[in-house]
């Protein structure tokens, strides 16, 4: 994962919860976020999921448009940020600078994805 220097929400209310209707692309129904990396390259992402781990909320963003090479390296193209609330109650996205925290979040997401796949396989057998 590449550390992102700044984030710019392209029209959403910035609540991180989705469903607000603002910032949605016509027909896609996804909030679009633009992240600028250290090299100044802007890429569009959508909020794929939020998860609470050890009392902290995290947001997983995936690229809006992926080429074949990026699909093979999805973990590298995903962006994980912590969601924090400021004194005014605004929700902010914060970089994960602690490698241990990042690894803990990745492991929890991988476990959740594996569990979800198992449940889907069980449903398909019924």
Residue 110 in any domain: the answer is no
pLDDT at 92 (0 to 100): 94
Q: What is the dihedral of CA 52, 108, 121, 50, to 10 degrees?
A: 30
Rounded to 5 degrees, what angle do the CA atoms 32, 34, 35 make? Answer: 140
Percent pLDDT > 90 in the chain is 50
What is the pLDDT at residue 72? 53
> 88 lies in which domain range?
4-96
In the predicted structure, residue 30 carries a pLDDT above the cut 90: no
For residue 102, being part of any structural domain is answered with: no
Give the whole-angstrom CA distance, residue 28 versus residue 25. 5
Q: What is the mean pLDDT of the chain?
A: 76
Q: Is residue 115 part of a domain?
A: no
In a domain, 31, yes or no: yes
Asked if residue 119 is part of any domain, the answer here is no
What mean pLDDT comes out for the span 68-91?
78
Count how many domains the chain has.
1
């Amino acid at each position: 994962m590449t550390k992102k220097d700044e984030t710019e929400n392209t029209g959403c209310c910035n609540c991180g919860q989705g469903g607000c209707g603002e910032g949605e692309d016509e027909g896609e129904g996804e909030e679009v976020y633009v992240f600028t990396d250290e090299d100044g390259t802007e890429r569009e992402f959508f909020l794929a999921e939020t998860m609470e781990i050890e009392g902290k909320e995290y947001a997983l963003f995936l690229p809006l448009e992926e080429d074949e090479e990026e699909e093979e390296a999805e973990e590298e193209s995903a962006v994980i940020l912590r969601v924090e609330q400021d004194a005014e109650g605004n929700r902010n996205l914060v970089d994960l600078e602690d490698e241990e925290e990042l690894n803990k979040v990745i492991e929890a997401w991988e476990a959740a994805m594996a569990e979800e796949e198992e449940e889907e396989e069980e449903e398909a057998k019924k």
